[in-house]
Amino acid sequence: MAGAYTEIVEIVAPGSARTGQRVDIEVRVKNLYGAPIYITVTGIVDDLALYFGSVYYSVAPGGIQSFYDAFYMPQRSVSLSVASFYWTGAEWQRDDERRVDIALAELAPGFSQFAITDYVAV
């Protein structure tokens, strides 16, 4: 579902990851407005906030901008929630939201996982 000014058109993330594996994320956001607007993205993986570099971009009408962040997979499956924002000239307005699940991958027999009890932002 699109927001009023932005649409998260895709979240590129793996469907699963092993404990301790770096999980790279790309969020692609489209400008739905008829003029250039500033767009930014934030996210959350359960309790860990992701700020996608704390960057914002001026995106042309109909243009799509990618935002990148990463985290290390904990010892459990996680939900990644992402929100797009646009600049009104006075404040950042939350606009569109999407969510994906990332499952904890199983290791092949004979391999062991090292313990990671919390998230680690990259």
Record the tokens describing residue 37, joined without a space: 């607007």
Residue 116 predicted with pLDDT over 60: no
* Domain count along the chain: 1
What is the model's pTM?
A: 0.85
Check whether 39 has a pLDDT greater than 60.
yes
Residue 66 pLDDT: 98
CB-CB contact of 94 with 83 (8 Å): yes
Query: Which is nearest to 48 in space by CA: 28, 68, 71, 69?
Result: 71
The answer to whether the beta carbons of residues 93 and 41 sit under 8 Å apart is: no
Instruction: Please state, rounded to an integer, the average pLDDT across all residues of the chain.
Output: 90
**pLDDT at res. 46:** 85
pLDDT at 98 over 50: yes
Q: What's the confidence (pLDDT) of residue 112?
A: 52
Q: Is residue 120 part of a domain?
A: no
> Does the residue 115 lie in any domain?
no
**119: in domain:** no
Q: What is the DSSP string of 59-119?
A: E-TT-EEEEEEEEE--SS-EEEEEEEEEE-SSSEEEEEEEEEEEEEPPPPTT--PPP--S-
User: Does 9 or 2 have the greater pLDDT score?
Assistant: 9
- Return the CATH number at 78: 2.60.40.10
